[in-house]
Amino acid sequence: MRSHYNPVNRVRADRTNVAGKQDEKRLNTRCGYVAISGRPNVGKSTLLNRLIGQKLSITAHKPQTTRHALLGIHTNDDTQFVYIDTPGIHHGGKRTLNRVLNKTASSAATGADVMILVVQALVWNEHDDLALETVRRQQRPWILAVNKVDQVQPKSRLLPWLQGLTNIDSAAAVLPISASKGDNVNNLETEIQKLLPLAPFMFAEDTLTDRSSRFLASELVREQLTRFLSQELPYSISVEIEKFEETPTLSKVFAIIWVEKQSQKSIVIGKNGASLKEIGSRARQQMQKLFDTKVHLELWCKVKGGWADDATMIKNMGYESE
């Protein structure tokens, strides 16, 4: 019989308890937090998924898809990497939600053992400057990961651009990578490993994340909303799980999609409910892959005017509780 896989209802391991289970050959393990920072849409979530070897963090071409700090845990024989995927750091954003996301990105990096600054090859703007400032402020070892090098044509353009970068002398390493294709990501992990402290593992070796299945379900619905309606739907959309029930063979998910205007609700639902049905079908398939169970998903769309400026509602949705 297939064992029930649940990535997050496993008990989070206490550092002391886990250390007590390590035999003498495992005393020289390395373990630490690795914050993945950068401006929106540079591929931080794609990189996290590549590093842990599994789809965990949601991705989309729309900037600021990531709204929460998310732990992704990868353990090999002697090292446990506890990666933190963070929202994109950006200037501007007058809405309350934008300010909360910047705060989340900065706070998530606090206390990390290693920082990864992700930038896009051949692109550096004021948002990258702000992200660099945030990384350097942590006063931790950091690595510059230059992503999307597979898109650079001709390749000869990359080296002069790298040589022209300023204020990166303190970086422990500078690595060109392609998170989407996996190019040079193994070398990036090797460089990260060198910088992690000698310490016992913080989590059980088979732990993938500390987030609940409930949280991951809401993110998977929001991912499909963003992908399916990216050109039509504004930034201010969120998903709340009203009820989550699970057994070893079936997960029942009941979710509310919050929008700010009646016109946005019409877009989400679509003609005769076609859009909502397609979004639900896509999200359900992703949940089944992650939870390794059959999934029954029901979606509703509701209007709450100005929710992205409503500090109380933002907090109730979990944006300030991390």
Task: Please identify, among 195, 223, 252, the residue that sits at the C-terminal boundary of a domain.
Answer: 195
Pair 28, 152 in one domain: yes
Looking at the fold, whether 190 and 217 belong to one and the same domain comes out as no
Mean pLDDT (10-residue bins), the chain, 322 residues? 35 41 64 93 92 84 59 95 80 56 62 94 94 92 98 96 92 97 98 97 93 91 87 72 94 94 91 96 95 96 78 59 46
Domain-embedded: residue 132: yes
DSSP β-bridge partners for residue 183: 178
Say if residue 224 is in the same domain as residue 141: no
Answer whether residue 219 is part of any domain.
yes
* Distance separating the N- and C-terminal Cα atoms of the chain: 37
Is residue 206 one of the residues assigned to a domain?
no
Place of tokens 């606090």: 110
CATH number of domain containing 164: 3.40.50.300
In this structure, are 110 and 47 located in the same domain?
yes
Give a yes or no: residue 200 inside a domain.
no
223, 144: one domain: no
**Which letter, b or e, does each residue of 232-271 get, where b requires 16 or more Cβ atoms within 10 Å of its Cβ?**
ebeebbbbbbeebebeeeebebbbbbbbbeeebbebbbbe
What's 264's domain CATH number? 3.30.300.20
What is the CA 171 to chain-centroid distance, rounded?
23
pLDDT at res. 116: 97
The pTM of the whole model exceeds 0.75: yes
Q: Are residues 31 and 180 in the same domain?
A: yes
Could you tell me if 233 and 301 lie in one domain? yes
pLDDT score at 321:
45
172 and 222 part of one domain: no
End residue of a domain, out of 164, 195, 226: 195
Tell whether 124 and 179 lie within a shared domain: yes
Residue 189 shares a structural domain with residue 255: no
Q: Into how many domains does the chain fold? A: 2
Domain span at residue 19 reads: 15-195
